Structure 1
Amino acid sequence: MGEKPRRSRRAFTPEFKAEIVEVCRRGDRTVAQVARDFDLTETAVREWVRQADLDAGTRSDGLTSNERDELARLRRENRRLREDVDILKRSTHPPAALPWLPESKTAFFASRRPGEPVPVHGPTGT
């Protein structure tokens, strides 16, 4: 048996998904029949019904749409904050951030503790 050609990913509006869920909930057709009738995958239709149940509060074994949106937003924010921290870490360690400095200045900066003020006239105070 040969494999079916892979179908390109399609996007559906929330209104269309809600209509499909309503057709499934009427009970006169199975999810498989609805999927066939509307040229959809059975998996997608089942997922839309499951998500609608979660959003309506009739299921509690997953995240609601609002929770999914919040989780995605928090993950993006977390990723951005980690990138900011990495940039700040690199900027507080001049030897790694400024490899073109002469060795004597690199050693000077390496001997400083993070947050310690740098003397204006160099390490000897002159």
Structure 2
Amino acid sequence: MAQKCRVFAAEFREGAVRVVTETGKPIPEVADDLGINETTLASWVSRATCAEKGQSAGEAEEMARLRREVAQLKKDNKELAMERDVLRSCC
């Protein structure tokens, strides 16, 4: 049977985020203390962090995707350089 979605007041959400950011406690611990799902709390913290930086959640996701892509391209570039060096040395 499906559960009803719980609606949390803005003050509660802000307080939960403040507990995580100000105390440094891990999200799962705070979520357990407050009786909420840790994924929900992680989402609130992520949104608050993005809002502080002046980014939307979509922009933050895009930046993370681009960083992963750049890291992969750097790795590919190193491999290609090694292959090039091997080919140069044997010919």
TM range (shorter): 0.5 to 0.7
2:12 maps to: 16
Identity within the alignment, %: 27
The C-alpha deviation readout for 1:48-90, integer Å capped at 9, x for no partner, is 00000111117665259xxxxxxxxxxxxxxxxxxxxxxxxxx
Number of the residue aligned with 2:38: 42
2:47–2:56 contact (8 Å) kept in structure 1: no
CA distance in 2, matches of 1:16, 1:32: 17
**Residue-by-residue CA offset, 1:2-35 (whole Å, 9 max, x unaligned):** xxx7542100111110100000012342100000
Distance 1:58 1:31 in 2: 22
More helix by share: 2
Q: Relative CO higher for 1 or 2, CA cutoff 8 Å, sep ≥ 6?
A: 2
The number of aligned residues is: 60
TM-score normalised to structure 2 length? 0.55
2:26 aligned partner: 30
For normalisation by structure 1, the TM-score amounts to 0.41
Q: Is the 8 A contact 1:54 1:62 kept in 2?
A: no
User: Can you give the 5+ residue segments of structure 1 that lack an aligned partner in the other structure?
Assistant: 65-126
Cα RMSD for the two superposed structures: 2.6
Q: 1:59 to 1:39 in 2, by over 3 A?
A: same
Structure having the higher Rg: 1
